[in-house]
Amino acid sequence: MRYISTRGQAPALNFEDVLLAGLASDGGLYVPENLPRFTVEEIASWAGLPYHELAFRVMRPFVAGSIDDADFKRILEETYGVFAHQAVAPLTQLGANEWVLELFQGPTLAFKDFALQLLGRLLDHVLAKRNERVVIMGATSGDTGSAAIEGCKACDNVDIFIMHPHNRVSEVQRRQMTTILGENIHNIAIEGNFDDCQEMVKASFADQGFLKGTRLVAVNSINWARIMAQIVYYFHAALQLGAPHRSVAFSVPTGNFGDIFAGYLARNMGLPINQLVVATNRNDILHRFMSGNRYDKDTLHASLSPSMDIMVSSNFERLLFDLHGRNGLAVSALMDEFKATGKLSVADDRWTEARRLFDSLAVDDEQTCATIAQVHAQTGYLLDPHTAIGVKAARDCRRSQALPMVVLGTAHPVKFPEAVEKAGIAAVPQLPPHLADLFQREERCTVLANDLKTVQDFVSQHGNRGKPL
Ligand SMILES: *Cc1c(COP(=O)(O)O)cnc(C)c1O
């Protein structure tokens, strides 16, 4: 499989190089040159397969030419073997034809484990083959950092540096990062805010001299391998609910448009999905586009669903590419306009097409809490605030009561106790067994000043399994 840039000016790459690449050299994002398409018979034959075997069949075309079948099978079996639930991604019924797909059974209790557990193992495999080492630098306000660290802790060829704003992440989130001890794991608490952390990551990508030739890799949601891994659970859920002989709808709590874009790809690969609902919080740039053809940058609003607090949706460019007939120059012009003005809209026919593909809703904190309370009262089931936004959007936007509606359950409620409390629910969610002793575990973290040179010196002093690069 070859991958091309959404801006049309960068060289095409194979899977292995895309895995290590991050952004394309023209500023675009990589997408597959041709999407595989499965027949109804093929999809039907996958019913009942264990998760890792289904994952092999769905993702095999994407890694073809870079990763051998036997290696890929082994990597997938290991990856999805670490999930606490035997079904890996179990479906729980909420109401008539309404389901939650629990994507929070992994090590860090959020759906990002599905992609980052795989990404770490794929990186290590490819790097071992090339006899290379890399450094990962990332900034986190919570979920991504712990999932990335968990995904890389067993990697021989990767050192990972994750910056979080000192004293500004919840204790559960901090401990999920700082209690993972390994000579290649480096937690940095920056005396600044999340944007400061992110700026330092960006500056480090722009000027990599401090790395003395070691390659820097990104693990944020623009990495193609993360999107690829997320396609699988759409197939997994739909097959259990009667696909491919019956259509299924999905409602997806969205920030960077990564998770829902994976659903869009699953549909283009032959999975019968009759509806994809984009569910946002108050940071609703995607809903503004879907409902009014205005993709306009607004200020950031802190919400009870912090993992969806974004100003722009980095993967939206991948949809724009398809909406414009995969014309990279058209996308490039639009993104230039967006960079200059903070605004973007598309021609009417392209917007009509976007509205045919997606429905959308923005849900505020009050509605989020009301949904948590309502579902808890009706069923006893406790939603996390991100998933609650998905449930609310599913109920308001639903096109057919006769077809199953699946809400992607993106996090475990124990990670976001504030929303549960605000919903007026007395029962405190409990940590699952594999994290029960989280508050007793030893922590390791370095506090650094909000200063680029200080951070880069730290990385170059510790980037080779704790030793200097
Ligand atoms: C990251 C995250 C999201 C948003 O996912 P995108 O791929 O950015 O749309 C939603 N919910 C939770 C809990 C997350 O961690």
**Gap between the Cα atoms of 283 and 261, Å rounded:** 18
pLDDT exceeds 90 at position 195 = no
Long-range CB contact pairs, 37-44, < 8 A, 24+:
37/268, 37/269, 37/270, 38/269, 38/270, 38/271, 39/270, 40/244, 40/245, 40/270, 42/270, 43/235, 43/239, 43/243, 43/244, 43/270, 43/271, 44/244, 44/245
Whole-number Cα distances in Å, 188 to 61, 146, 210, 371, 457: 38, 12, 17, 36, 13
Q: Nearest C-alpha to atom 7 of ligand 1 is from which residue?
A: 258
Greatest CA separation found in the chain?
61
> 101, 103, 111, 372: which to mutate for ligand 1, most atoms within 8 A of CB?
111
Is residue 110 in contact with ligand 1, taking CB distance under 6 Å?
yes
Percent of the chain with pLDDT over 90: 91
Which ligand 1 atom is nearest residue 386's CA?
11
pLDDT exceeds 80 at position 136 = yes
Is residue 409 in contact with ligand 1, taking CB distance under 6 Å?
no
Q: Nearest C-alpha to atom 8 of ligand 1 is from which residue?
A: 256
**Gap between the Cα atoms of 5 and 59, Å rounded:** 20
Is residue 258 in contact with ligand 1, taking CB distance under 6 Å?
yes
- Which residue's structure tokens are 């992994």? 106
pLDDT exceeds 90 at position 429 = no
What is the extent of the structural domain holding 405?
Answer: 87-109+224-422
Is residue 309 in contact with ligand 1, taking CB distance under 6 Å?
no
Report pLDDT for 187.
98
Which helix (H) or strand (E) segment is 420 a member of? helix 417-422
pLDDT exceeds 90 at position 171 = no
- Return the closest-CA partner of residue 316 out of 340, 348, 275, 280: 280
Report pLDDT for 219.
86
Whole-number Cα distances in Å, 308 to 8, 132, 312: 29, 34, 11
Q: Is residue 297 part of a domain?
A: yes
pLDDT digits (tens, 9 = 90+) for 308-354: 998 999 999 999 999 999 999 999 999 999 999 999 999 999 999 99
Average pLDDT in the 165-190 region? Answer: 93
Q: How far is the CA of 261 from the centre of ligand 1 (A)?
A: 12
CATH of the domain at 416: 3.40.50.1100
Report pLDDT for 319.
98
Q: Is 212 left (phi over 0), alpha (psi -120 to 50) or beta?
A: left
Q: Is residue 55 part of a domain?
A: no
The dihedral through the CA atoms of 307, 434, 235, 145 has a sign that is positive
pLDDT digits (tens, 9 = 90+) for 40-86: 999 999 999 999 999 999 999 999 999 999 999 999 999 999 998 99
Q: Which residues of 215-224 are buried (b: 16+ CB within 10 A; e: fewer)?
A: ebbbbbbbbb
Is residue 221 in contact with ligand 1, taking CB distance under 6 Å?
yes
Q: Cite the beta strand spans of 338-419 per DSSP E.
A: 359-362, 405-409
Report pLDDT for 400.
95
State the first-to-last Cα distance of the chain, in angstroms, to the nearest integer.
Answer: 33
Q: How far is the CA of 412 from the centre of ligand 1 (A)?
A: 12
Q: Is residue 41 part of a domain?
A: no
pLDDT digits (tens, 9 = 90+) for 79-131: 999 998 999 999 999 999 999 999 999 999 999 999 999 999 999 999 999 99
Which ligand 1 atom is nearest residue 252's CA?
9
pLDDT exceeds 90 at position 194 = no
**Gap between the Cα atoms of 377 and 369, Å rounded:** 12
Q: Is residue 391 part of a domain?
A: yes
How many independent structural domains does the chain possess?
1
Per-residue confidence at 411, pLDDT binned at 50, 70, 90? very high
| Angle, vertex CA 343, rays to CA 201 and CA 137, nearest 5 | 10
Are 324 and 331 spatial neighbours (Cβ–Cβ below 8 Å)?
yes
> 103, 143, 313: which to mutate for ligand 1, most atoms within 8 A of CB?
143
Task: Give the lowest-confidence range in 170-174, 364-368, 444-448.
Answer: 170-174
pLDDT digits (tens, 9 = 90+) for 14-46: 999 999 988 899 999 999 999 999 999 999 999
Average pLDDT in the 407-426 region? Answer: 94
Percent of the chain with pLDDT over 70: 100
The dihedral through the CA atoms of 245, 246, 252, 257 has a sign that is positive
Q: How far is the CA of 284 from the centre of ligand 1 (A)?
A: 14
Report pLDDT for 67.
97
Is residue 115 in contact with ligand 1, taking CB distance under 6 Å?
no
Q: Is residue 373 part of a domain?
A: yes
Is residue 257 in contact with ligand 1, taking CB distance under 6 Å?
yes
Is residue 386 in contact with ligand 1, taking CB distance under 6 Å?
yes
pLDDT exceeds 90 at position 141 = no
**Gap between the Cα atoms of 138 and 58, Å rounded:** 28
Per-residue confidence at 469, pLDDT binned at 50, 70, 90? very high
Is residue 200 in contact with ligand 1, taking CB distance under 6 Å?
no
Tokens of 276: 């994809």
pLDDT exceeds 90 at position 428 = no
Report pLDDT for 168.
87
Which ligand 1 atom is nearest residue 230's CA?
7
Q: Nearest C-alpha to atom 1 of ligand 1 is from which residue?
A: 307
**Gap between the Cα atoms of 319 and 41, Å rounded:** 28
Are 101 and 406 spatial neighbours (Cβ–Cβ below 8 Å)?
yes
Q: Is residue 137 part of a domain?
A: no
Active site residues: 112
Residue 184 gets which letter from DSSP? T
C-alpha of 447 from chain center: 27
Helices (H) and strands (E) in the chain, counts: 18, 14
Q: What is the mean pLDDT of the chain?
A: 96
At position 386, the amino acid (one-letter code) is: H
Report pLDDT for 220.
83
Average pLDDT in the 216-235 region? Answer: 94
Higher pLDDT, 238 or 430: 238
Report pLDDT for 120.
96
Q: Is residue 167 part of a domain?
A: no
Is residue 151 in contact with ligand 1, taking CB distance under 6 Å?
no
Global pTM reads 0.96
Q: How far is the CA of 70 from the centre of ligand 1 (A)?
A: 31
C-alpha of 146 from chain center: 13
Cis amide bond preceding 165, omega within 30: no
- Return the closest-CA partner of residue 338 out of 385, 289, 292: 289
Q: Nearest C-alpha to atom 2 of ligand 1 is from which residue?
A: 307
Q: How far is the CA of 255 from the centre of ligand 1 (A)?
A: 6
Q: Is residue 68 part of a domain?
A: no
Of 276-285, 410-419, 430-439, the range with the highest mean pLDDT is 276-285
Which ligand 1 atom is nearest residue 104's CA?
13
pLDDT exceeds 80 at position 142 = no
Average pLDDT in the 381-404 region? Answer: 97
Is residue 408 in contact with ligand 1, taking CB distance under 6 Å?
no
Which ligand 1 atom is nearest residue 310's CA?
8
Is residue 143 in contact with ligand 1, taking CB distance under 6 Å?
yes
